[in-house]
Structure 1
Amino acid sequence: MFDICIIGGGVAGLMLAHSLPASMSIAILTKENPFTSNTALAQGGIAASLAPYDSPETHAVDTILATADHAHYTRVELLVHEGKVLIERLMAQGLPFDANSHGLPELGQEAAHTQRRILHAGGDQTGKMLMHYLLEQTQEKVTRLPFHTVLQLQIDDGQCTGAFVSDSNGHKHLIKARHVVLATGGIGQLYSQTSNSPVATGDGLSLAYHAGAILEDLEFVQFHPTIFTLNGKSCGLISEAVRGEGAFLVNQDGIRVMKDVHPLMELAPRDIVARVIEWHWQKNDPVYLDARHIHRFDKKFPSIYANCMSYGVSPLHELLPVRPGAHFHMGGIQTNDIGETSIPQLYAIGEVASTGVHGANRLASNSLLEGLVFAERLAKRLQENVIRSGVQLDEEVDCSFIQVSLTTMQLRMTEQVGIIRTGNGLADFIQEFPLSRLDLANYTKEEIQLIHRYTASSLIAKSAFLRTESRGGHYRHDYPTSADEWTGKVIERSIQGESTRLREIESKETVK
């Protein structure tokens, strides 16, 4: 038996392992190798108010404004204040951020930030550099179990006690642990257009749902505006940092598409930029990113440059065709401010968790910061001995294996649960992909991959159907504006059904 079983090996899972004492036995399970995660693909940076002209309070205001009045204010304050201290400590410990000629951190600009506060490492390879650092720091203190697919969480007497897995040989076995942590990442691969890693298939949402945990804010999906797109195929992310350095968006006639839409133009909140670009594409008016004037583009953004060149397109001399794609999930498994879920001994951190700090629309570069901050907070909790009452599950409602093609499901998600949604489209999706609680341990490794995708997709669609307004990353064409009656209201989902509650915003007045 392990003390801690961490499911997922991105920034949140690795930071948790890094923050725990070496005396604890820790297992890290990953579906593939350690570098197959969204963290490793993160081109952007980490937001922290390190500059003398900046402050955590200003960072908090920018965060809350971007979240479409749907953030948990107290936790935003935790994020920005504890995040600054944590980043300063990691820098002192040797985490290699890019610096200027004076040896000070080189801070970048991204959308909806009023200050330059984005730290980068290796230019546009922040996630990869962070992974290298944390893997090295945890090398001697964890048991790594790559190529392990988690089939089902083990629940005994209402508490999570382990995970059923299928290993690289297809053998099934139970990994027991005193504490189980879901750090499985995002849901981008539920869509046909995405910036996400191939492993980002919503597994954590499915595992938590079938175990009886409460999930929330599932309708809020952020679509990155600028996915490099050729012949209708996603060919890699072009970081928002490129627009932060002055790149602008034009249509096929060279007209800037954001000029009269928002005062921040290309640096408007991502949901606005994404919808404008998608609207042009739907009118057969392709949108391009013009970065030709950026000095030393190939040095500032080496991985983006190399990727574009691999497709025969030079950012130095040509326009880059871009289209929105699924990028980040603001919702997830409901947690408190130390990572506890509604099931005792089951925890969630990183993108799979819903802490409330991202609200309806994540502020750029807050995601890596969230993974680091809440992982460290959970590490402190796991060194305590706290007993809570267990969760009671309904009887399992099993059914025959879900017969649906992956391609069909991705296309339906993109068309009906994508950037622009309608009540009729969502209703059609829910009818085509009904949800049942399954005994996941009965299926093969290949079947479970599809079931996890199916479950996560259905959960997101139902929540999007229930929210009859537009807010942040959730846009309903039939309800195109935000509604007062939905302000602060959270949709909760579990195997017992759905309900709504008001988000705790008692600290709103402290954020000026």
Structure 2
Amino acid sequence: MKIKHIKEADLVVVGSGIGGLTAAKKASDKGLNVILVTSSKFCGGASYFPLKGTLGIQTTAHFPEDEKLFQEDINRVGLGMDNPHMVESYIKNIRESIGFLNEIGFEPWLRDDKRPACFAKYPRDIYLIKDWEKAKTNASKIFNSIENLKIEENYKIVKILQKNNCVDGAIFQDKNGDFLLIKTKVIVMATGGVAGLYKHNLYPEDVDGSGHIVALDAGAQVTNMEFIQFIPAFITPKYNTLYGEHTAKYVTGMFDLNGKLIYPGIDDEKARKLWIERSAYAPFSCDFESFKIDLAMVNSIDENNGGVELKFHPDLYKDSGEFYTVYLNWLKESMNIDMCKDKITIAPFAHGCNGGVMVDQFGKTSVDGLYAIGELSSSVEGANRLGGNSVGGALVFGNQSVLNAYEYLKNLENKDVKNRDTSELLNEFQVWISEIFGETDIKEDLLEKDEVVQKIKNTLTNYGLIKRNYESLKTGLDILENLKTKSLDGYFKIEAAKLLLISMINRNESRGAHYREDFPKRDSIPQRLVVSRKNNSFNIEK
């Protein structure tokens, strides 16, 4: 296996979203020699995906009692699947972490209104960010001026090299198939979630769960992968644009694409109550009676393989609330969309994943020197995600991971730990490649990467969407088991998709974002699914 480039660094950050940039900036501030590796261009991932006018970050309020209320909010919607050690660290550090946004090129401001965040019971301060292109320009100026930080674009991590449960380096591959070896004792992974594996998604295509498999192969564990957020977004008039859930209380009816009413609107007394409830949260959750609206949508889409049409009362544009005016103005000015005049069709789009790599309060995995932050990690959230915590978690644990890694590196210096020889590292990589691919005799069954991606997206969309049952999940898993590829990228996508369906199959209940029509009720005793890998196969513990 030829390695085109070999480099060394004190610390490597993988991913250039908000979490990755925060970690890279904080590490360089500590005087460490840092290499930031990104699978696309600098400033990537979900952080820079312009799905709506603004992104919000929820912070602890100024009064001391809010720490308890904030924790109560997260615990309530997490339904026993949240991570208390992460919650405590987040609540303690999020307010001071807002300033990190300025350090990486954003210009946050405090939202005027006190509307509670998605799923939240209590209102608190929410900071907003926008102007993604300006933020990218600012970040480029900031990071290009840092002497002890280098940026490697268009390289995807494929293997973490480790010995005795300690990181020794990593192998990356570019789009031409060339490999890069970076010798390092610390890797902070911020590769994002899994949404790119679905046909309809609100994330960039390279947010595909590959980082989860790389971390698992290194010896880390993952949890809560079955709790994926699906949020309605536009099919028309502008595909891949986020639907503002707060507008739901102005819906006059949901129709199939032939104009047949499939769910009544606010003029119906019983339906009105559900539309108002549905307007308070964006992601699908089976914990509210209004999930009937989402099921009606999915059942109709199953029949026509498109979307559903929503019609709105003109009073929508008379609502002067900031949450309405900002969103509706953005739609008109940036997307040329009028919710009352245009034909609005929506469908569930894959968005955030509440689960991920298991870490401690510093983002440290079970592998020494390996950290997972942002949506790659199983961070603050559980069965549901409280709005405004995603970006905040990337900020908090981007910093926390570096604080811990810095001490880890100092300890290694005191122990005078030596780096392994390049030849030994490359041999480890070669052995792993052979274990994955071996020799395939049935050449005609091998698929090109693009074919693999299309089959994965169709499979997850058809069998792993909102409405789940054992038979459909097992059918999807069987399809994935029979996919074969010689592409490393294809391999990771297949394994990540299998990880999702395996997790969904093993949770035999309905809880939060996970709905099983064959197990419609929630278990009285919550169980956490912990996934590990051995010999390139998944192991599940409950």
- How far the C-alpha of 1:341 sits from its partner, in A, is 1.3
Query: What SS is found at the alignment partner of 1:454?
Result: helix
Equivalent residues of 2:233, 2:242 under 8 A apart: yes
Coordinate RMSD, CA, aligned? 3.6
Which of the two has greater helix per residue? 2
1:491 matches 2:519? no
Larger radius of gyration between Structure 1 and Structure 2: 2
Distance in 2, Cα, partners of 1:40 & 1:52: 32
Summarize the Cα distance change of 1:133–1:239 in structure 2 as closer, same or farther, 3 Å threshold. farther
Distance in 2, Cα, partners of 1:345 & 1:178: 6
Look up the match of 2:145. 140
Structure 2 residue corresponding to 1:415, chosen from 459, 462, 472: 462
Structure 2 residue corresponding to 1:331, chosen from 355, 358, 368: 355
- How far the C-alpha of 1:448 sits from its partner, in A, is 2.4
Look up the match of 1:230. 236
Equivalent residues of 2:190, 2:373 under 8 A apart: yes
Equivalent residues of 2:61, 2:125 under 8 A apart: no
Distance in 1, Cα, partners of 2:386 & 2:250: 19
Q: After superposition, where does 1:378-389 map in structure 2 within 5 Å?
A: 378-385=401-408, 386=411
Equivalent residues of 2:104, 2:138 under 8 A apart: no
What is the TM-score of this pair, normalised by structure 2? 0.77
Summarize the Cα distance change of 1:383–1:288 in structure 2 as closer, same or farther, 3 Å threshold. same
Look up the match of 1:31. 39
Gaps of 5+ in 2: 1-7, 256-260, 302-306, 418-427
Look up the match of 2:488. 448
Look up the match of 1:211. 218
| Counterpart amino acid of residue 270 in structure 1 | P
Distance in 2, Cα, partners of 1:476 & 1:331: 18
Equivalent residues of 2:529, 2:541 under 8 A apart: yes
1:371 matches 2:394? yes
Q: After superposition, where does 1:82-101 map in structure 2 within 5 Å?
A: 82-87=93-98, 96-98=107-109
1:57 matches 2:64? no
| Counterpart amino acid of residue 338 in structure 2 | S
| Counterpart amino acid of residue 292 in structure 1 | Y
Summarize the Cα distance change of 1:92–1:343 in structure 2 as closer, same or farther, 3 Å threshold. closer
Structure 2 residue corresponding to 1:265, chosen from 264, 274, 278: 278
- Aligned-residue sequence identity (percent) comes to 19
Distance in 1, Cα, partners of 2:104 & 2:374: 22
Query: What SS is found at the alignment partner of 2:403?
Result: helix
Look up the match of 2:370. 346
Residues 186-195 or 392-401, more deviating: 392-401
Equivalent residues of 1:11, 1:39 under 8 A apart: yes
Distance in 2, Cα, partners of 1:341 & 1:14: 19
Deviations 1:149-199 (A, max 9, x none): 223222344422222122365422312212112110111111111111122
| Counterpart amino acid of residue 204 in structure 1 | G
Distance in 1, Cα, partners of 2:333 & 2:295: 26
Q: After superposition, where does 1:302-341 map in structure 2 within 5 Å?
A: 303-306=330-333, 308-309=335-336, 313-315=337-339, 317-318=341-342, 320-341=344-365
Query: What SS is found at the alignment partner of 1:189?
Result: helix
Distance in 2, Cα, partners of 1:274 & 1:62: 20
| Counterpart amino acid of residue 541 in structure 2 | T
| Counterpart amino acid of residue 78 in structure 1 | S
- How far the C-alpha of 1:7 sits from its partner, in A, is 0.9
Distance in 1, Cα, partners of 2:358 & 2:477: 22
Distance in 2, Cα, partners of 1:83 & 1:157: 34
- How far the C-alpha of 1:218 sits from its partner, in A, is 1.5
Query: What SS is found at the alignment partner of 2:395?
Result: helix
| Counterpart amino acid of residue 72 in structure 1 | N
Summarize the Cα distance change of 1:131–1:54 in structure 2 as closer, same or farther, 3 Å threshold. farther
Name the count of aligned residue pairs.
477
Look up the match of 1:255. 265
